[in-house]
């Protein structure tokens, strides 16, 4: 039985990239710059869903009106 969890604890590198609309390479670069936290498991990179949401909130810059 192959069921997908609609609310996963871990997000794959590809899923993270899709969610924030960047390439997987950019996700890795953001991790190297200390902007987002990633974890390795079984040779693959993952982000914890709750931590990713926190990290994104920290790096978002509000756009001020001109």
Q: Is residue 33 part of a domain?
A: yes
- Taking the C-alpha atoms of residue 9 and residue 7, their distance in angstroms, rounded to an integer, is 7
**Global pTM?**
0.82
Read off the DSSP letter of residue 8.
-
Confidence band, pLDDT 50/70/90 cuts, at residue 4: low
Contact 1, 38 (CB under 8 A): no
List, in sequence order, every residue forming a beta bridge with 39; answer none if it has no partner.
Answer: 46
**DSSP string covering 37-59:** --EEETTEEEEEHHHHHHHHHHH
Tell me if 45 is assigned to some domain.
yes
Is residue 48 in some structural domain? yes
The DSSP 8-state label assigned to residue 7 in this structure reads: S
Q: Kindly state whether residue 2 falls inside one of the protein's structural domains.
A: no
5 within some domain = no
pLDDT digits (tens, 9 = 90+) for 13-55: 999 999 999 999 999 999 999 999 999 999 999 999 999 999 9
Domain count within the chain: 1
Q: In this structure, is residue 65 part of a structural domain?
A: no
């Amino acid at each position: 039985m192959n069921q997908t969890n609609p609310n996963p604890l871990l997000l794959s590198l590809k899923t993270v990239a899709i969610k924030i609309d960047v390439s997987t390479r950019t996700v890795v670069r953001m991790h190297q710059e200390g902007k987002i936290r990633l974890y390795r498991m079984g040779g693959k990179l993952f982000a914890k869903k709750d931590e990713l949401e926190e990290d994104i909130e920290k790096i978002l810059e509000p756009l001020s009106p001109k």
